């Protein structure tokens, strides 16, 4: 069990630590801090004050959560942190937790306040600098602060919460009942920036150039003169990771592009042609499609698929390692390092820390075999997706590559519900190509973050095609918008685009007789289907 969600945090910046009290929005809070160009990490409330203070945090933020602070077993941070002098902001549950821990009273409100609310804020409070006296905020609470702690004063109120925010006189502690991290709170991002800059007195020091220079130094120090290989998928993450390592160690890096037979149409050609030309990175292509299909034969359970794909990737890299050493005539020389494009959300969603729900075993995290012979280099492990894209631009990668829609390492393996056969893959490739063509033609590529196309291979329904009864599969399209993949909303595709997609798929792909739109947010649904 990891003590911290991110065990490889940079040693050149002091963090703002975000306590995850059980809310998905903990990740959003961390993102808002990063947007202010200050490094943040998510940590468990179970950590002791000694463990937290050893990190020399610049500030602490306590997230919302589903608990009631007055019930047994509700999570609390170490009380010693309240007297540490480190600035603290409590949000929603965090606000209520601070109220109780500082001697105030929290109880059931007897009503709930969900969604938009009008808050009146105090002009002289540093949290609300440069924001209007009345503003729309986003509430989600059943409990409320009934009695203020000692030396606390109310600095905001709403119709459902007379004590909607407080500050402690003489101590760097603030709390707000609403959720400033969500976009529905009009001045929420400004509130978080005000806490960081006005209340806590911090200075921004986290930007693409500083990240690039730091990671290059760290990679050079770690690798020395050793050889390095990178598992290149063609996606944004692995492409940026490879470019960063190449900038650090040059010809010591060889990228292995494994064609696992789960790629979209044209994927291999794009990597071999476009990426190699723009980056100067040496790429070796290995066709392992038969190997993967054989290993996946008869497997339908999604987590098992992920683990098999992760395992076979590593085995393919190990085989490539031996082949490269032999080809180079360097008998006995070991390629020690494997580069992966693991991101911070991958770590969090794979249960990489106390209090983090294991939503999926990411192929870079939970899907690796235990007998891994490589030492991993994960230069993007601290970053969110938009930070990776900014880093890619900083490294000089072309925008069409940096801004391409994410494509998962397991490829179409997590977009087929049912067995991964050549036939099912061919059906999905044909449908996926049509969707991508139509979205591009409609000018929607930069508006949509990702649009998985999913084949329900184990589902058949009656259709009518060519005046004949058919028994075909449904195709699901899943267009989403998101900032960091932690949460997402479905994209409202124009009806004319949907019509063209549906007509083309059902007309050009004989096995498909229904096209279905997934209009589910995340949560409750994940982005991929599996």
Query: How far is residue 85 CA from its own chain's centroid?
Result: 32
pLDDT at 224 over 80: yes
For residue range 136-178, what is the model confidence (pLDDT) as tens digits?
A: 999 988 899 999 999 999 999 998 899 999 999 999 999 999 9
Q: What is the model's pLDDT at position 77?
A: 97
Taking phi over 0 as left and psi of -120 to 50 as alpha, with beta for the rest, 93 belongs to alpha
Taking the C-alpha atoms of residue 487 and residue 527, their distance in angstroms, rounded to an integer, is 9
433 and 383 part of one domain: no
Greater confidence, 368 or 222? 222
Other beta carbons within 10 Å of 343:
28
Q: What is the model's pLDDT at position 391?
A: 94
334 and 367 part of one domain: yes
3-state secondary structure of 354: coil
245-205-83 Cα angle (round to 5):
120
Number of domains in the chain: 3
Exactly one of 92, 230, 255, 451 is catalytic; name it.
92
For residue range 465-515, what is the model confidence (pLDDT) as tens digits?
A: 877 888 899 999 999 998 767 678 999 999 999 999 999 999 999 999 999
Instruction: Report yes or no on 218 lying in a domain.
Output: yes
Position 363 confidence tier, pLDDT thresholds 50, 70, 90: very low
251 and 169 part of one domain: no
Residues above pLDDT 90, as percent of the chain: 55
CATH classification at residue 443: 3.30.300.10
Q: What is the model's pLDDT at position 10?
A: 59
Instruction: Report yes or no on 4 lying in a domain.
Output: no
Position 12 confidence tier, pLDDT thresholds 50, 70, 90: low
Average pLDDT over residues 117-131: 95
Window from 18-22, 428-432, 482-486, 502-506 with minimum mean pLDDT: 482-486
194 and 226 part of one domain: no
pLDDT at 72 over 70: yes
178 and 212 part of one domain: no
Sheet strands (E) in 192-312? 227-231, 253-259, 283-287
Residue 306: both structure tokens together: 């992920």
Average pLDDT over residues 227-233: 83
Instruction: Report yes or no on 410 lying in a domain.
Output: no
Nearest-10 Cα torsion for 13, 14, 19, 20: 10
Q: What is the model's pLDDT at position 3?
A: 34
Taking the C-alpha atoms of residue 51 and residue 67, their distance in angstroms, rounded to an integer, is 24
Average pLDDT over residues 204-212: 89
Taking the C-alpha atoms of residue 170 and residue 295, their distance in angstroms, rounded to an integer, is 64
For residue range 365-415, what is the model confidence (pLDDT) as tens digits?
A: 444 556 666 788 999 988 888 899 999 999 988 887 888 887 887 889 999
195 and 212 part of one domain: no
Exactly one of 41, 113, 181, 438 is catalytic; name it.
181
Taking the C-alpha atoms of residue 412 and residue 233, their distance in angstroms, rounded to an integer, is 12
Where among 160, 176, 199 does a domain terminate? 199
| Contacts of residue 476, Cβ cutoff 8 Å, sequence gap at least 6 | 453, 454, 455, 456, 515, 516, 517, 518, 529
145 and 242 part of one domain: no
Q: What is the model's pLDDT at position 89?
A: 98
Q: What is the model's pLDDT at position 384?
A: 86
Where among 172, 199, 226 does a domain terminate? 199
**Residue 333 bears catalytic tag:** no
Q: What is the model's pLDDT at position 369?
A: 55
What mean pLDDT, rounded, does the chain reach? 87
Q: Are 446 and 403 in contact (CB under 8 A)?
A: yes
pLDDT at 364 over 60: no
Average pLDDT over residues 6-16: 65
Instruction: Report yes or no on 523 lying in a domain.
Output: no
For residue range 25-48, what is the model confidence (pLDDT) as tens digits?
A: 888 899 899 999 999 999 999 999
**Residue 181 bears catalytic tag:** yes
From 342, 340, 360, select the one nearest 351 (Cα to Cα).
360
Exposed/middle/buried for 220, CB within 10 Å: 0-12, 13-18, 19+? middle
Taking the C-alpha atoms of residue 244 and residue 257, their distance in angstroms, rounded to an integer, is 17
Q: What is the model's pLDDT at position 325?
A: 67
**Residue 246 bears catalytic tag:** no
Q: What is the model's pLDDT at position 355?
A: 42
Window from 185-199, 268-282, 429-443 with minimum mean pLDDT: 268-282
72 and 192 part of one domain: yes
Other beta carbons within 10 Å of 489:
14
CATH classification at residue 212: 3.40.50.620
Query: How far is residue 488 CA from its own chain's centroid?
Result: 10
Average pLDDT over residues 113-140: 93
25 and 152 part of one domain: yes
190 and 216 part of one domain: no
Window from 5-14, 140-149, 197-206, 245-254 with minimum mean pLDDT: 5-14
CATH classification at residue 136: 3.40.50.880
This prediction's pTM: 0.72
Three-state secondary structure readout of 58-88: CEEEECCCCCCCCCCCCCCCCHHHHHCCCCE
Residue 152: both structure tokens together: 């606390």
Taking the C-alpha atoms of residue 370 and residue 378, their distance in angstroms, rounded to an integer, is 17
Greater confidence, 320 or 166? 166
212 and 104 part of one domain: no
Q: What is the model's pLDDT at position 2?
A: 29
Q: Are 424 and 400 in contact (CB under 8 A)?
A: no
Position 275 confidence tier, pLDDT thresholds 50, 70, 90: confident
pLDDT at 443 over 70: yes
Q: What is the model's pLDDT at position 362?
A: 46
Taking the C-alpha atoms of residue 52 and residue 81, their distance in angstroms, rounded to an integer, is 8
Instruction: Report yes or no on 409 lying in a domain.
Output: no
Q: What is the model's pLDDT at position 509?
A: 95
Q: Are 355 and 76 in contact (CB under 8 A)?
A: no
| Contacts of residue 505, Cβ cutoff 8 Å, sequence gap at least 6 | 431, 434, 435, 475, 512, 515
430 and 461 part of one domain: yes
Residue 418: both structure tokens together: 């049912």
358, β-bridge pairs = 350
Instruction: Report yes or no on 490 lying in a domain.
Output: yes
Residue 46: which domain range? 16-199
């Amino acid at each position: 069990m990891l003590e911290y969600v991110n065990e490889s945090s940079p040693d050149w910046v002091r963090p703002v630590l975000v306590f995850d009290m059980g809310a998905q929005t903990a990740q959003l809070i961390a993102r808002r801090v990063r947007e202010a160009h200050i490094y943040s990490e998510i940590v468990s409330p179970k950590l002791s004050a000694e463990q937290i203070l050893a990190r020399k945090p610049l500030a602490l933020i306590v997230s919302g959560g589903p608990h009631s602070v007055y019930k047994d077993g509700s999570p609390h941070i170490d009380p010693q942190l309240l007297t540490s002098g480190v600035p603290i902001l409590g949000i929603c549950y965090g606000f209520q937790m601070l109220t109780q821990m500082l001697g105030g009273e929290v109880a059931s409100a007897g009503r709930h306040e969900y969604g938009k609310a009008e808050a009146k804020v105090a002009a002289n409070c540093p949290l609300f600098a440069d924001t209007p006296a009345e503003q729309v905020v986003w509430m989600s609470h059943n409990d409320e602060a009934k009695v203020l702690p000692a030396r606390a004063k109310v600095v905001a109120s709403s119709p459902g919460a007379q004590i909607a925010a407080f500050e402690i006189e003489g101590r760097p502690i603030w709390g707000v009942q609403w959720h400033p991290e969500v976009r529905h709170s009009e001045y929420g991002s400004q509130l978080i920036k005000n806490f960081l800059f006005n209340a806590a007195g911090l200075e921004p020091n986290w930007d693409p150039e500083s990240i690039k220079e730091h990671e290059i130094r760290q990679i050079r120090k770690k690798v020395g003169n050793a050889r390095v290989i990178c598992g290149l998928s063609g996606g944004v993450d692995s492409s940026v990771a490879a470019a960063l390592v190449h900038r650090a160690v040059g010809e010591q890096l060889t990228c292995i592009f494994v064609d696992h037979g789960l790629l979209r149409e044209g994927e291999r050609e794009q990597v071999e042609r476009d990426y190699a030309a723009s980056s100067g990175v040496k790429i070796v292509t290995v066709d392992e499609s038969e190997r993967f299909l054989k290993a996946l034969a008869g497997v339908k359970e999604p987590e098992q698929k992920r683990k098999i794909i992760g395992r076979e990737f590593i085995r393919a890299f190990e085989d490539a390692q031996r082949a490269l050493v032999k080809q180079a005539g360097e008998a006995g020389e070991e390629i020690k390092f494997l580069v992966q494009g693991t991101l911070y959300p991958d770590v969090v969603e794979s249960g990489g820390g106390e209090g983090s729900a294991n939503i999926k075993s990411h192929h870079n995290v939970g899907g690796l075999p235990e007998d891994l012979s490589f030492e991993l280099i994960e230069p993007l492990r601290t970053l969110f997706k938009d930070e990776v894209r900014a880093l890619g631009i900083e490294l000089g990668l072309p925008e069409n590559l940096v801004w391409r829609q994410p494509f998962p390492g397991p490829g179409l393996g997590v977009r087929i519900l049912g067995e991964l056969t050549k036939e099912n893959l061919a059906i999905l490739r044909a449908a996926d190509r049509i969707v991508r063509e139509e979205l591009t033609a409609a000018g929607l590529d930069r508006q949509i973050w990702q649009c998985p196309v999913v084949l329900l291979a184990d589902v058949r329904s009656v259709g009518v095609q060519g005046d004949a009864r058919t028994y075909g599969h449904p195709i699901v399209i899943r267009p989403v918008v998101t900032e960091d993949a932690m949460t997402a909303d479905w994209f409202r595709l124009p009806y004319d685009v949907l019509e063209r997609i549906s007509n083309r798929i059902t007309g050009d792909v004989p096995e498909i007789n229904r096209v279905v739109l997934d209009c589910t947010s995340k949560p409750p649904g994940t982005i991929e289907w599996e």
